[in-house]
Chain A
Amino acid sequence: MKDKPDFLAHGVLLLGVILFVLPIWVMMAGATQNAGAIARGDLSLIPNPHGFGMFGRALFFGGASRAGYPVWHMLLVSFAMAVGIAAGKIAISLISAFAIAFFRFPFRKLAFWTIFLTLMLPVEVRIIPSFAVVSSLKLINTYGGLTLPLIASATATLLFRQVFTALPDELVEAARLDGAGPLVFLRDMVLPVSRANLAALFVILFVYGWNQYLWPLLAASSPAYTTLVLGIVQMMAPDQMTPWNLVMATTTLALLPPVAVVVALQGAFVRGLTETDK
C-alpha cells in the first residue's frame, strides 16, 4: 500500500468531493456573475473576477419581492437565534443533568422521564399545536417564541448525564473532602472537565438552530424576525426578476457561519456527535 498510491481510493473520494463541492462552487461562481446572463441560462463555472463585490452588496440586499429587511439584518436574526438556542439549551440541560446525576431527590425519576419524553416530539411533529400555544403565550414574533420551544429538548440533557455519570466517583469524593459543595463542584470540576463536550454540543446546536426552517416560518411571520434561511427561500419566489447572482451570494453567506463552525471545531464536533448518538 505504501509503494504506490491507492488510485481507486483517491478516485472514489475525489468523486465524492466533486459531488459535494461542485454545487457550492457553482453557487459561489454564480454570485460573481451578471444576473441577466444567469437568468438566460448562461451560468458559467468560472467566477468573474470583477464580481466579488457582490458578496458585500448582498449584505444590503432586501427581499426581492417583499419590502423586507436587508440581508445583514437576517444574518443578525439567524445569529441571535442560533446562539440563543445553543447557549440556552446548553445552560438548562447542563444544570438539569447535573441535578439528575449528582442528587437523589424525590421526583427525580419523574423529572428524567418527562425530559426524556421530549425526545419523541421534534418540533415538526407538534408544529401546529406548538404554534397555538406560543400564540396564546403572546410569543409570536419575539425572540422568545423563536427560540424557547427549540431550547427544551432531551438530547443535550441525555448527553450531559452520560458525561457526568462517566466522571469517576473518586473525583467527586476528593472534591467533597477538599471542601467543595455542589455548586462549587459544578464550577470548578464539572465545567472544566466537560469543556470538550460543551464545544461539540455548541457546534451541533448552533448548526441546528441556524438551519431551522419550519419553526421560524410559523413563529416569525414579521419581516423583522426573518432568518437568513427563511429569507433566501422567500427571495426565490417564482418570478422572472429574481436577481440570481444576489441570491447565490446570499446563500453563500448563509452557509458560511455553520460550515465555518463545523470545520473549525471538526475534531471536537465529530467526537461529540458520534459519542452521543445525536
Chain B
Amino acid sequence: MDRRTLFPGITLPSLLVAPQLLLTVLFFLWPAVKAVQEAVTASNPFGTATVFVGLDNFTSLLLDPTYRAAIWRTVWFCMVVTALAMAGGLLFACYANRPLRGAKIYRTLLIWPYAVAPALSAVVWVFIMDPQIGILGRHLGAGWNYALNGGQAMALVIGASAWKQVSYNFIFYLAALQAIPRSLIEAATLDGARGFTRFRTMIWPMLLPTTLFLMVVNLVYAAFDTFGLIYALTGGGPAGATETMVVKVYEDGYIGNDIGGSAAQSVVLMIMIVALTAVQFRFLGRRGQ
C-alpha cells in the first residue's frame, strides 16, 4: 500500500495538507460537533439559555409519528429507486455490450443523463406528467393529479429519481461487463451455456461485486441526492406523502427553525450514512481484489 520511495521533510507536507485539513475542520468537523451538541441541548424561546437535555430530542423524534412515517417512507423509496435504477442500468448495459453497429452512439445516448441535475430532472418530468400541460399527463384523465394524490406523487418522484440514476448504473455495469474476459464467456458457450442460463450462471456472479457496490451508492443517492428532485417536483407533498428524511430536515430546521429537533435529525442521518459507508468499504475492498 505504501510507497517504497519517499521524500524527506516535515514542513512541506504539513503545508500541503493544511488547506484541506482547515476546510475539513471548518465545514465538516465543526458542523458535526455542533449538530451533536445541539441535539442534546434545548434553548429557551428567546435563545438566551441552553440546558442539557440528554437524549430527549431523540426520544421525542422517534415518538413523533410523522418522523417515523418519514423513516419508513425513505426506506422503501430508496429500495424501489435502487431496484429500478439498477435493473435499468443492467438491462441496457447487457445489450450495449453486444457487438452492434452504432454501439458507441447508443452508449453516449445512455450515458449523458448522468449530467442532469436531479432538480432539473424534476422540471423535465413536469413537462411530461403535469395534468394540464404535460404531454403525457394531460391524456391520463381526470383521476391523474399528483398534486393532490399522494400515491401518484410518490410514483412520479420514484420514476424521476430512478430515471436520472439509470445512466450511472449503466456506466458501471458496462465497465464490469467489458472487464469479463472473452475467453471465459467462450468457454461457457462451449460448455453449452446459452442465453439466460449463461447470464445467470456465468455473468451475474461475475457482476456481484459491482452490484453490491452500486447498491450502496444508489441507496445513498436515493436517500440524500434526491432532495432537489423531490422538492422541485412535489415539495414533499401532498400532505407529506413524498417527504423523505432529508426533506424533513430542511423543512423542520430551515423553514420550521426547530434547532434541537433538526440537529437530532442530522445526527440520525449521520449515523445512517456512516453505516452505509462502512458497508460500502467492505465491498470496496472486495472490488479492489
Contacts and interface: CB of A to CB of B under 8 A. Distances in A.
A-side interface size class? 35 or more
Interface of B: 1-10, 12-14, 16-17, 19-21, 23-32, 34-35, 38, 88, 91-92, 95-96, 98-101, 106, 108-120, 122-128, 132-135, 138, 163, 166-167, 171-172, 175, 213, 217, 220, 224-225, 227-228, 231-232, 246, 249-250, 253-254, 259, 262-263, 266, 269-270, 273-274, 277, 284, 287
A179 to B, nearest CB: 13
**Max count, chain B CB within 10 A of own CB: residue among A133, A185, A277:** A277
B110 A20 contact: yes
Interface string A251-273: 10011001101110010001001
A9 B96 CA distance: 7
A211 B117 CA distance: 4
A41 B138 contact: yes
B266 A127 contact: yes
Nearest to B125: A23
A191 interface: no
B135 A17 contact: no
Interface of A: 1-2, 5-6, 8-10, 12-13, 16-17, 19-21, 23-24, 26-27, 30, 38-39, 41, 43, 45, 92-93, 95-96, 98-106, 108, 111, 114-115, 117-122, 124-134, 137, 148-149, 151-152, 157, 164-165, 169, 172-173, 176, 181-183, 185, 207, 210-214, 218, 229-230, 232-233, 236, 244, 247-248, 251, 254-255, 258-259, 261-263, 266, 270, 273-274, 277-278
Main secondary structure of the interface of B (DSSP, over half): helix
A251 B20 CA distance: 34
Contact of A103 (B6, B26, B138): B6
30 contacts: A1-B98, A9-B100, A10-B100, A12-B92, A16-B92, A16-B109, A26-B128, A96-B20, A104-B6, A114-B21, A118-B24, A121-B31, A125-B224, A127-B254, A129-B34, A132-B31, A157-B20, A164-B3, A176-B7, A182-B7, A207-B114, A213-B232, A229-B119, A229-B228, A232-B120, A248-B127, A254-B117, A258-B116, A262-B114, A263-B111
